[in-house]
Structure 1
């Protein structure tokens, strides 16, 4: 039986971790919310006064912010679905192939490459003059593309890099889930005449659905805070065509300005939008029920 003294000793043991958590997480988050209601700008004197909702209202008038929101939404609507489909396809097709273990290891390399290395590498691959991508396009009679020089092609390039790096994450989770499916159910399906594509479509895919939905949520959360790929490839350019929400907040607060108040408002809005989107997806996909966490 746990005595009162043991409880006090246990509390004292975890107290440093609790204090560290408050200092490193709770306090900065609370200060960010407070700063979003001020005109705090480290590049100007006599700032830090409460200005109410002005920062939040200014976001809807800021074309750079709106452009960042649009590109972030584009990444969620294009990159995430492609990653999910590609990861699922690879996890299904790779099974029972000759050299399956080697292929599995190769597919995971993009995910293990540091963002700085991957971004720099793709920047060289997409180079207009000596990049291999344009070289191969020229072999098929296609004119060289200024990948990072035009808004449309720059957005496509960033989407390609995002999909290249994170489709392996989806593949890894779904491949592991496929390997862990109950063999008795699969064997029963085979006895009943299901095999190949039919077995996957009618038995394996429904069993994978909870893991698929959770992976989808993880990818949506991660894409909403995309920063490193943009930083290493386009730096948000040309103009603000490839600037994500997180990257624009960084530029406002650290890169070309020190407007802490406005940058904090951008971060708070991002958190609110992310929470609303994730909660909506959770309800629409009924993830609680799929995982057996809800009786509804």
Structure 2
């Protein structure tokens, strides 16, 4: 048993970290919630009055906000599943392959590249006039594509960059999980006649399921706050076609306006939606039970 004196001493030691956490995290979050109920606009005088839920009602009438929601949903429904599929496929195919260590390091490069550098590089690759992608499409007999000039192509380009950058993250986690699977279970499966694809589908994949679910949640959380890829490639264009929710909140509060009240409301909605979505997925996928954290 830990004595009361040691408990008090331990609490005293971590007190600075608790205070720092409250000052740097909790207070700004509460202040943001308060601002979401005001008309605070740093570009105008005489603002900061309490206006109730007016900012929240305006969100549902804001065409740009609705467009940002649509693109964020597309990233969750298209980019994230493709990242999971590609990451799982690479982790399976890479095992016991010649040059495995070298290939593993190469696959991780996109994740290690800073978002600013990666986004700028892809912007050059997608360039309509001198971009290599359009050049190779021309060699194959296709017409050049205005990647950042049209709605569908711009959205596809951002998704390609997102998948390129974050598939290695999924690969890294699932590859490590595959390496850590209990050998006795795999050996027992091989003795029973399972090998290759059947061994993976009926033994390894079920064992990987908890890790897959957690990785999926991590990617969804990250995509919901996607910002840097959009900022470095399309800046939300054309129009607001590739603006994510986080990027639109940035534009409202910092870029083309200083409407702190409305931007705070956008951020609060994002937090609420993220919490509801993650909790719902956690219940549906039964992650607590899969990880052995729940007795139910």
TM range (shorter): over 0.9
Q: CA deviation at 1:6?
A: 4.3
Q: Deviations over 1:187-228 (max 9, x none)?
A: 000011000000000000000000000000000000000000
User: 1:183 aligns to what?
Assistant: 183
In 1, Cα distance between equivalents of 2:31 and 2:110: 37
Indicate the SS of the match to 2:231: helix
Q: CA deviation at 1:294?
A: 1.2
Q: CA deviation at 1:293?
A: 1.1
The 5 Å alignment of 1:83-122 reads 83-122=83-122
In 1, Cα distance between equivalents of 2:250 and 2:286: 34
In 2, Cα distance between equivalents of 1:3 and 1:199: 52
Q: Deviations over 1:5-45 (max 9, x none)?
A: 54444333222211111110000000000000000000011
In 2, Cα distance between equivalents of 1:7 and 1:23: 24
User: 2:212 aligns to what?
Assistant: 212
Indicate the SS of the match to 1:84: helix
Indicate the SS of the match to 1:55: helix
In 2, Cα distance between equivalents of 1:260 and 1:71: 23
Pairwise CA RMSD of aligned residues?
1.0
> Paired residues, what number?
296
User: 1:60 aligns to what?
Assistant: 60
User: 2:164 aligns to what?
Assistant: 164
Q: Which runs of 5+ in 2 are unaligned?
A: none
Please report the TM-score for the alignment, with normalisation by the length of structure 1: 0.98
In 1, Cα distance between equivalents of 2:87 and 2:12: 46
Q: Deviations over 1:156-211 (max 9, x none)?
A: 00000000000000000000000000000000000110000000000000000000
Indicate the SS of the match to 1:235: coil
> In the superposition, relative to structure 1, how do residues 289 and 3 fare at CA in structure 2: closer, same or farther (>3 Å)?
closer
> In the superposition, relative to structure 1, how do residues 288 and 2 fare at CA in structure 2: closer, same or farther (>3 Å)?
closer
The 5 Å alignment of 1:69-88 reads 69-88=69-88
The 5 Å alignment of 1:137-286 reads 137-286=137-286
User: 1:126 aligns to what?
Assistant: 126
In 2, Cα distance between equivalents of 1:3 and 1:207: 42
Deviates more, 1:232-241 or 1:6-15: 6-15
Please report the TM-score for the alignment, with normalisation by the length of structure 2: 0.98
